[in-house]
């Protein structure tokens, strides 16, 4: 299980982000889905990981149990191959397991996995996550995660996030010096906006003038938005963080300019200035 890197050509130090996919995705899928958001000129090293657990969506599991003459159809080979690509960071109760204690075992596996990967990929500045990956990324911003992993991100982009199981509680608090961008859809029927807003509220407890909690709400569902407004916001946020952390930014001159403008806004003004991404 290896990390997938997507980096632009650039001399010198680049911003490096750990990218955590959603449930039933994998590193390759997440890289493809975030390509419009990342753009072609983003001067960032994106490190995509595969979750440690292989799972099968319930609908495919039900189909595989049905006796059918079509089971010999070559098309089913493709489906079987794809099952190996369905990954998760932990296996949720009621869907893939019934024993609550098994979540503790999954957590042990995940902690060992994360320590190994963090050691393998080297210096990482932040995390980008979607859905279950965003839930994990939010936990990685907590004081508890810093104590267990001996590492913490300096920035986080959480797309369609939510509060995970008690094993990944944010009760220990969010580390104060983390800048965060929270993106979610007003028409998300998988992870309703209210659940993402719960995560935002917890992050705001540690908000400072230096590291603000930015929120962007699009009008789509449980997706990674592809519109220009979301891409520009993503680029400007990363540009600002690169300026802060590395002292320079070559992501794009326009993104740097917009990042500077956002730095002079209050959190509410920054939110009001964002364009909404429509279908």
The pLDDT, as a whole number, for residue 7 is 55
Q: Report CA 68 to chain centroid distance, whole Å.
A: 39
Local confidence pLDDT in tens for the 279 residues of the chain: 456 665 544 456 789 999 999 999 999 999 999 998 887 555 899 999 999 999 988 766 555 555 554 444 544 444 454 555 799 999 988 776 778 888 999 999 999 999 999 999 999 999 999 999 999 999 999 999 999 999 999 999 999 999 999 999 999 999 999 999 999 999 999 999 999 999 999 999 999 888 889 999 999 999 999 888 888 999 999 999 999 998 865 555 455 455 455 444 444 444 434 445 543
> How many CA atoms within 13 Å lie on the side-chain side of 68?
10
Short-list 240, 158, 142, 168, CA closest to 197: 158
Structure tokens at 202: 């917890």
Structure pTM? Answer: 0.82
Query: What domains appear along the chain, each with residue ranges and CATH number?
Result: 4-225 (3.40.50.1820)
Give Cβ neighbours of residue 44 (< 8 Å, ≥ 6 apart). 7, 8, 14, 15, 16, 17, 38, 238, 242, 251
> How many CA atoms within 13 Å lie on the side-chain side of 87?
20
Give Cβ neighbours of residue 238 (< 8 Å, ≥ 6 apart). 15, 17, 42, 44, 155, 251, 255
* Dihedral sign for Cα atoms in the order 164, 270, 255, 32: positive
The torsion angles phi and psi of 84, rounded to 5 degrees, stand at -70, -15
């Amino acid at each position: 299980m290896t990390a997938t890197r997507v980096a632009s050509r650039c001399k010198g130090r680049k911003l490096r982000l750990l990218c955590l996919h959603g449930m039933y995705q994998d590193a390759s899928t997440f890289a493809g889905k975030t390509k419009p958001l990342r753009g072609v000129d983003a001067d960032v090293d994106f490190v995509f990981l595969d979750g440690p657990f292989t799972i099968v969506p319930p609908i495919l599991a039900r189909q595989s149990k049905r006796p059918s003459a079509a089971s010999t159809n070559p098309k089913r080979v493709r489906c079987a191959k794809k099952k190996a690509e369905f990954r998760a960071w932990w296996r949720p109760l009621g869907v893939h397991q019934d024993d609550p204690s098994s979540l503790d075992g999954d957590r042990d596996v995940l902690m060992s996995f994360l320590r190994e990967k963090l050691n393998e990929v080297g210096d990482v500045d932040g995390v980008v996550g979607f859905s279950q990956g965003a839930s994990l990324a939010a936990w990685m911003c907590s004081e508890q995660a810093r104590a267990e992993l001996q590492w913490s991100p300096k920035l986080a982009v959480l797309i369609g996030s939510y509060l995970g199981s008690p094993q990944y509680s944010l009760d220990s608090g969010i580390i104060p010096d983390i800048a965060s961008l929270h993106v979610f859809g007003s028409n998300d029927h998988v992870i309703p906006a209210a659940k993402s807003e719960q995560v935002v509220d917890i992050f705001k407890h540690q908000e400072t003038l230096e590291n603000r909690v930015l929120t962007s709400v699009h009008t789509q569902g449980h997706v990674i938005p592809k519109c220009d407004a979301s891409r520009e916001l993503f680029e400007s946020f990363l540009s600002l963080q690169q300026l802060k952390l590395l002292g320079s930014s070559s992501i794009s001159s326009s993104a740097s300019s917009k990042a500077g403008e956002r730095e002079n806004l209050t959190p509410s003004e920054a939110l009001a200035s964002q364009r909404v991404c429509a279908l």
